[in-house]
Amino acid sequence: MAVSIKDIAKVAGVAPSTVSRALSDHPRISRETRERVRRIAREMEYTPSLLARSLVKQDTATIGVVITSVSDPFLTNVVTGIEEVAQEQGYSVLLSSSYLDAKRELEVVSSFHGRRTRGIIVIGSQIDTGYLHMRDRFPLPIVLTNCPIYPYSVSTDNPASARQAVEHLIQLGHRRIAYIANRRSYRSNLDRLTSYHQVLEAQRIPVDEDLIIEGDGTLGGGNAAVEALRSRTRPPTAVFCFNDMTAIGVLSALRQAETRVPEEMSVVGFDDVEFAAYCHPPLTTVRQPTDLMGQRLMRMLLALIRGQEDVEPEVLPGELVIRESTGDPPLPA
């Protein structure tokens, strides 16, 4: 059950009114008492109800959306899809960023819970199925992206989509294919890396662990990965990137190194963010149905809010979009 002010008061040995004042910085409460009460509240994982402090007694028509970062272009259409359905159904949307930090994510979810939102959508969760063990703490619907083992999630078919990308490169004739990972997105990264391994093994192409580079899903991470790949005794002829931001960083680094794309190196991304088509050269990538994903996330959350019991995880297909950043491998010297 959720921890109350009375529970904290009992542990602290003070009156509930003292706890309430300590948590709201009342000037009549000593610093020592205030700090002790707050420490106990943190230890007991107390979640304050902001609306309970007001006179508002009715339910809010608000949902909370936790995004990774406002700078991530992948999120634009996802959030647009969420807002379209929310507005249509009379709900408003609160946004906050987790920056791919589990502690920060939990703080944001706790904040949304305190504001008495009707439900929460978490994009790029670092906690994933951990929410199943926190139902007493957060007794409200929580929907996730790209976590198909969680009962309430909407995902892109990462395994099948990644297979499309790697198979495309193999069909072009590539055998030295690198993968630039994203250590900050565990589950999606694992799905894409697993498919990379499986496709190579199915084609009897040896997996060279030196061609798997740890990235971070950013432009800078893609840029840095190119230096590591170029230092290999046998560099790759193609690179499959965790996402488009990584791939665009790779394109930039290859351009600076005067490596021609795709004549000397082919590059594939994942997401199909808006400016992927405007890169030089335009980026071959896997298109995630981001707008549809946002709509499905919101509709799933609404179904849970209404108490429907037949809600199941959804997996949406990705689509390989072939542009000019992939081509035949260079001829042997």
The ranges assigned to domains in the chain are 1-25+43-47, 58-156+290-316, 158-288
pLDDT digits (tens, 9 = 90+) for 166-213: 999 999 999 999 999 998 888 999 999 999 999 999 999 999 999 999
Hey, what CATH topology would domain 158-288 get?
A: Rossmann fold (3.40.50)
Within this chain, domains 58-156+290-316 and 158-288 share the same CATH topology: yes
CA-CA distance, 6 to 99, in Å (whole number)? 34
* pLDDT for residue 266 is more than 50: yes
The DSSP secondary-structure symbol of 52 reads G
pLDDT average, residue stretch 67-72: 92
pLDDT average, residue stretch 242-249: 98
* Summary mean pLDDT of the chain: 92
The pLDDT of residue 53: 46
**CA distance between the termini of the chain:** 69
Class of domain 58-156+290-316: alpha beta
Q: Measure the CA dihedral 301/188/225/279, to 10°.
A: -50
The pLDDT of residue 62: 94
Q: What are the DSSP calls for 65-110, one per residue?
A: EEES-TT-TTHHHHHHHHHHHHHHTT-EEEEEE-TT-HHHHHHHHH
* pLDDT for residue 55 is more than 50: no
* pLDDT for residue 56 is more than 50: no
CA-CA distance, 236 to 179, in Å (whole number)? 10
The pLDDT of residue 184: 86
Query: Largest Cα–Cα distance in the chain?
Result: 82
The pLDDT of residue 42: 87
* pLDDT for residue 331 is more than 80: yes
pLDDT digits (tens, 9 = 90+) for 25-51: 677 788 889 889 989 988 988 876 544
CA distance to 175, 179, 200, per residue, from 208 (Å): 10, 10, 10
Nearest to 74 by CA among 221, 217, 259, 220: 217
Q: Are 141 and 305 in contact (CB under 8 A)?
A: yes
CA-CA distance, 297 to 76, in Å (whole number)? 14
* pLDDT interval class at 54 (50, 70, 90): very low
Helix (H) / strand (E) element for 62: namely: strand 62-67
Tell me which of 320 and 50 has the higher pLDDT.
Answer: 320
pTM of the model: 0.81
pLDDT average, residue stretch 81-99: 94
CA-CA distance, 75 to 234, in Å (whole number)? 36
The pLDDT of residue 25: 66
pLDDT digits (tens, 9 = 90+) for 271-284: 999 999 999 999 99
CA-CA distance, 311 to 72, in Å (whole number)? 29
CA-CA distance, 103 to 145, in Å (whole number)? 18
Q: Which of 9-23, 122-136, 197-211 has the lowest mean pLDDT?
A: 9-23
pLDDT average, residue stretch 283-310: 96
Range 172-197 burial, b when 16+ CB lie within 10 A, else e = bebebbbbbbbebbebbbebbbebbe
Amino acid symbol at 230:
R
* pLDDT for residue 236 is more than 60: yes
